[in-house]
Amino acid sequence: MASTLTTGEQLFCGLIASGVAETLTYPFEVAKVRLQIQGETPLTKGQVKLSGPFHAMYHVGKTEGMLALFAGLPAGLLRHGIAGTMRLGLFYPTVNYLTYGKTTAPTDPAEIQPITLGTRMLASASTGAVAMIAANPADLVKTKLQASLKLQPGEKAPFHNTASCFGHIIRTEGYMGLMHGLSIAVPRMAWQNMAEVTAYEVTKDFLRDNYGMEEGLPLYFLGSLSAGFFGAYLGNPLDVIKTRIYKNPMGPDGKPLYKGPIDAALKMVRNEGIFSFWKGVVPLWIHVSAFSVAVFVTFDMLRLQIVKFKGGAPTD
């Protein structure tokens, strides 16, 4: 398919697929964030220890209202509108450039070359990194809104929606505050995108070559399940650190709890143990798997329909 689609068409498919996937799976991401920040400070009176993703969603919905499960969704859609469009839409053009020296593959089947594992890993990691640089402000706002706990009586929220959160960050930290956490967000996105996209592509190749599966929904569905598993379990440690850095509450000394990603990692190991890096991994796995199914199936089905509309052959 990649050989017959323009970069603009790839980006369009990435935009639509990312928006659909983010909306359908958002409550799981809220649950993941709540579980990831649990334990960084002692529970206060009235706070409940969350035991898992479904308990987290139930508790948030019961105590804060169902809309709290979609806190930060506009920022999430903005984030994925930027990052998802770029990480998916630029992947195949980047693969083609690394393989053929141009963003489109040859139309002559005799000139088609096999795509190496290294090419896929480099392309997915680089597009993920570039996408995260552009999307970091929206991702930061989304995480802050997701991590906002129900206020105690007399407390005043510093922000209450996406726009006010952007304004709060700019007023208190300046415009560069919107790039807070970039040092962990970029490698995290590059690593997780590499795991997801490479697993998706390799799984599709395996199923096509060994089981004769053709382009279509069953192939994309099975490939996306593989992407969700590897993306979640390989990406969770950096995802937890990113969430902690984004939220970064004040410590007992009145200073931010974490000085940076390395400091956050060391304090997590010292205070919560090595397995704290996999806090929230179950909701992340559920979320990433559901997201991967939604985003990759939508992305490739859109690409397939465009190829058919243009009269091309439905092959990569």
Three-state DSSP at 256 gives: strand
Question: Both tokens of residue 78?
Answer: 């903005």
Residue 250: beta bridge partners? 256
- What's the CA gap between 152 and 45, in Å, rounded? 10
Give the pLDDT confidence of 207-248 residue by residue, as tens digits.
Answer: 999 999 999 999 999 999 999 999 888 888 888 888 888 778
Q: Give the CA angle between residues 181, 239, 250 to the nearest 5°.
A: 50
Centre a 10 Å sphere on the Cβ of residue 22 and count the other Cβ atoms it contains: 22
- What's the CA gap between 38 and 34, in Å, rounded? 6
- What's the CA gap between 13 and 195, in Å, rounded? 21
CA count, 13 A, side-chain hemisphere, 131 = 31
Average pLDDT, the chain: 86
279: pLDDT strictly greater than 90: no
- pTM of the model as a whole: 0.75
- Which residue type sits at 5? L
Give the pLDDT confidence of 15-47 residue by residue, as tens digits.
Answer: 999 999 989 888 888 887 788 777 766 767 667
Predicted pLDDT of residue 2: 45
Lowest mean pLDDT of 273-277, 288-292, 309-313, name the range.
Answer: 309-313
